[in-house]
Amino acid sequence: MRKIGIVFLLFILTVGSLVAQSETEKPKLIVGIIVDQMRQDYLYRFEDRYSEGGFKRLIKGGFMLKNGHYNYIPTYTGPGHASVYTGATPSSHGIIGNDWYAKSIDQMIYCASDTTVTNVGGSAENGLISPKNLLTTTITDELRIATQKRSKVVGIAIKDRGASLPAGHMGDAYWFDSKTGEFMTSTYYYDKLPEWVSKFNADKYVDKYLSETWNTLYPIDTYTQSIADDNEFEGIFSGKDSPTFPYDLKELRKTNGEFGLISTTPYGNTLTLDFALAALEGEKMGMGEETDFLALSFSSPDYIGHRFGPQSKEIEDTYLRLDQEIERLFNYLDKTYGKDQYLIFLTADHAVAEVATHMINENVPAGNLRTSA
């Protein structure tokens, strides 16, 4: 009897019921994946270039919910991650935006901020993070409660909110620090970094990737699911004259935030998965009697999408490369746990609209909302 399966979800407000299995044996590990800003059409637009072991394996080997919807606004990163993992909406779980104004204290609040904690590793300014503002339990919390905290829960992302909210109130969370190039946490979780985290940081993966040149995975003239590489609708990295391949990251890091540059390249996804695999090994996840939970969020597609837009060659290349990372994850899980011993789901926290100036240029009625006076 098959012990576990694959679930591909467009949106998973009912994730708790989907994870429940009728089989008598529990999965060794659950891996929840959120791809920040992933649109549904990316599955079909780029499908011909996907491998059988990546996104196609999720689609063909699991269950796909095609009629999901986001029944709240705004669909930002904070509310999206909180809604996926709580099964609730912002009116209940309290994460009503990435930031919001709190009248009672007359100031803005960041969704994952907590001034009562400090950084562990990384930089002080990026360490004021915890799930304090999340008002409900998550599926990861419920797993810890149900097992008297014997189940391990680890949340990982480049974005702090993409790690801390899915990990819930009772799990561990790690995020990338753009100031130091390290993965870090806060005193909400630990007083010092676990040894495996310190070792990962000492290996300087970020420097390795930022010495690369980001070019297209395949010949650029075969990228037919995107607009021309050189156009007026995309953002340009400081130090370049156009939004075009190739991107010499060793040079660009000098003028684009040093370590933070990796977030706006596909290597941010690679780095995130590297750290996730290190977490599985370092925490010996899936090796105990209880089910463990890895909450993994790929943040880079959002940074790339905001800079270049959903019709860009950069986005097309990002998803072709992310497909390879998904396959790498599957291969690791198969080898480590066995093909029928884990559950994996994939969804998005939100999608993205077309670039308004591009639509206007194509005579499509569109415009930008002016949010300031």
Give the active site residues: 77
Side-by-side strand order, sheet with 342-347: 62-65, 6-9, 342-347, 29-35, 292-298, 153-157, 172-177, 182-186, 119-120
CA-atom Rg of the chain in angstroms: 20
- Give the CA distances from residue 333 to residues 68, 171, 342, in Å, rounded to whole numbers and listed in that order: 27, 21, 8
Spatial distance between the Cα atoms of 294 and 341, rounded to a whole number of angstroms:
14
Tokens representing 52 are 């059988």
Spatial distance between the Cα atoms of 257 and 246, rounded to a whole number of angstroms:
19
246 prior amide bond cis, ω within 30: yes
Give the burial class of 107: count Cβ atoms within 10 A of its Cβ; 0-12 exposed, 13-18 middle, 19 or more buried. Answer: exposed
Spatial distance between the Cα atoms of 209 and 216, rounded to a whole number of angstroms:
15
